[in-house]
Chain A
C-alpha cells in the first residue's frame, strides 16, 4: 500500500530522519510511535508532500509519490489530519466537509460563475455526501455551526469527516487522540476501526499508548530519527530496546 524507502531529512545541521524504511499493508492500522523529537511528524509531513525530503523515496501502491505536492495526493487516494486540528474555522461544519470533496468534483471557475446545470447537480451531490460523512462521525446535528465555534473534541471528529470525504485509500492521522478525554478517545478508537472496515488503511502517530496497543495491527517505533523496531503490539511491548528508549537505560 504505502512504502517508505530510505527517507532522510536534514534541517540545517540536524538530522531529523535517518534512513527510515517501512511498509504499510492494505487494510491495516499502523501506528508510528516514539519519544518526543523522534521525527514522527516530520515523517508525516514528508509522506504527505508538505516537506520535501533530503533523500529517499515514498511509494503509494507502487507509484513513486516522493516530491509530489500535497494537493496532488488527495486524488491519488491519500489524505491526512493534523496534530493541531486545521479546520476552516470561518466556514460551517458542513462546508468544511464539502471542501473534502474537492478532489472528487471538477466544476471549474467558469462553470461555477455561470452556474451550469451540471455544476448545480454536482453541488447537490457534494452536499449530500458531505452530510453522510457528518453522520458517519456523529456530528450531523452541528452541520450549520461555524467550525471555529466547535469544542475541541468535535473539531477532531470534523477533521476526520472531512478527510474521509476525500474517499482516501490511506488515511494518515497525526496524534488524533491528543487533547481528547478518555470517553472521546474510546469513541475515536471505534471510528478508526469503522474507517478500516471501509477498506481504508490507516497510519497514526500517537502518544496514547493504550489507544495504539488497542487498535493497531502493526507498530513502527522511531527514536532520534531512526527506526528502532517494527512489529505487532505484543512484540513492541516486549522489545527491550523500545523499553529502554522510552524509560531510559539503566545506569
Chain B
C-alpha cells in the first residue's frame, strides 16, 4: 500500500488524468463528470459525518442551493457565472453557519431530524417558487462556463473542469484531515467532553465544519448546474441526501479517498443495473446491508483487508498479523 500522503495524492491525480484516454469516445466520460461532482459532495458530508461525527440528512439542500443560485442568477439575470459561483458558495456557507449554531446543539436522532427538516424545507422552496426556479418542471438555459476562449461545452472539457476543482477539494480535505483541526474533529467524535477539556471549542468547530461542508456542496452544485445546463428540484430531494450518505458509508467513514470510491460505485452502478429497471433500489439495499455486515469500514478499508486475506488465505491455521 502507498503510505506517504503526497505519493497517494499523486497516484490519484495520475489515475484521474489517465481515465479520459481509457474512456475515449465513451459516454462513460459524461458519467465520470458526475463521479467528480459526487466525490466533492461525499467528501463534504464525510468531513461532517466521518470526522466530526455529526449526521446530516439534508445535505442535498446545500448542493441544490448552489445549483439554483448559479442557475437563476446566470440564466435569468445574466450575471458572471464565476462570480456567482463564488458568491453562492459564500452565501450558502454563511447560511449553514447561521443555522448550524442552533441545529448542531442537537445530537443523534434529533440532529438527523433537524437536518432532514432543513432539507425538506429547501426542497419545497425549489418546488413552490415557480416564478424564480421554474418549479417542478425545472430551470433550463443555464449557460456553460467559459474561461477566455475556452467554452466548457463538451463532456471531455467538463471532465477536466470538474475534476480540477475536485482534485483541489481532495487535496484540501486530505490536508485538513491530517492536521490539528482534523484531529480535533475526530476527538469531538469520540468524546466531546474530553475534547472540550483539552481546549477544543467543540460547538464552534462543529459549526465551522458544517459551513465548510456547505461551501463545498454549493460549489459542486454550481458546477452541476453549468455542466447539465438544466436543474430540477427532484435532483436535490431527500433521496439524494440518503444517496450521499450511502456513498460516504460504503466508501468508508473518515476517509477522503473512500468518499471517491463510494461516489464512483454509486454513480457508475446505475449504468450497469439498467436491466433491473425499477428493482435497482432492491440491489442498493442489499449492497448496503452486505457492506455493513462484511465491510463496516467501507471499501477503502475492506478491499485491502480482502486482498491481504486472499494472498495469505491459502496457508490456513496461520495467524495473520493485522
Hey, which bits of chain A sit against chain B, CB under 8 A? 48, 50, 69-75, 79-80, 82, 86-91, 95, 98-100, 102-103, 105, 107-109, 112-115, 119, 122-123, 126, 162, 166
Contacts and interface: CB of A to CB of B under 8 A. Distances in A.
A99 B201 CA distance: 12
B180 A88 contact: no
| Closest 5 pairs (CB-CB, A-B) | A103-B199, A74-B199, A112-B179, A86-B194, A88-B190
Main secondary structure of the interface of A (DSSP, over half): helix
B8 interface: no
13 contacts: A73-B199, A74-B197, A88-B195, A90-B186, A90-B189, A91-B186, A99-B184, A99-B187, A99-B198, A105-B180, A107-B179, A112-B176, A115-B175
B191 to A, nearest CB: 4
A109 B212 contact: yes
Contacts of A86: 191, 193-194
Given A71-B202, A90-B190, A113-B175, A80 B197 contact: yes
B301 to A, nearest CB: 12
Given A87-B194, A99-B187, A114 B175 contact: yes
A123 B179 contact: yes
Contact of B200 (A82, A99, A108, A122): A99
A107 B200 CA distance: 13
Contacts of B200: 71, 99, 102
Nearest to B172: A113
Given A71-B202, A89-B190, A91-B190, A98 B183 contact: yes
A87 B191 contact: yes
B180 A103 contact: no
A91 B175 contact: no
Contacts of A123: 179-180
A88 B191 CA distance: 6
B196 interface: yes
Interface in B163-220: 172-173, 175-176, 179-184, 186-187, 189-191, 193-202, 208-209, 212
Given A99-B184, A107-B179, A113-B172, A87 B190 contact: yes
Nearest to A88: B190
A109 B208 contact: yes
Interface in B230-284: none
B190 A112 contact: no
A113 B198 contact: no
A88 B176 contact: no
Contacts of A74: 197-199
A130 to B, nearest CB: 10
B49 to A, nearest CB: 14
Contacts of B173: 113
Contact of A112 (B182, B193, B195): B182
Contacts of B208: 109
B193 A88 contact: no
B219 to A, nearest CB: 14
B188 to A, nearest CB: 9
Contacts of B187: 88, 91, 99
A170 to B, nearest CB: 13
Nearest to B208: A109
Contact of B186 (A48, A88, A115): A88
Contacts of B198: 74, 79, 99-100, 102-103, 162, 166
A21 B175 CA distance: 48
Contacts of A71: 196-197, 199-202
B165 to A, nearest CB: 15
Contacts of B190: 87-91
B175 A107 contact: no
Contacts of B175: 112-115
A107 B190 CA distance: 22
Given A71-B196, A109-B208, 14 more contacts: A69-B196, A73-B197, A73-B199, A74-B197, A86-B191, A87-B190, A88-B190, A88-B191, A90-B186, A100-B198, A102-B183, A102-B184, A112-B180, A166-B199
B197 A48 contact: yes
B203 to A, nearest CB: 8
A75 B198 CA distance: 9
B207 to A, nearest CB: 11
B183 A91 contact: yes
A120 B251 CA distance: 28
Contacts of A112: 175-176, 179-182
Given A109-B181, A114-B175, A99 B197 contact: no
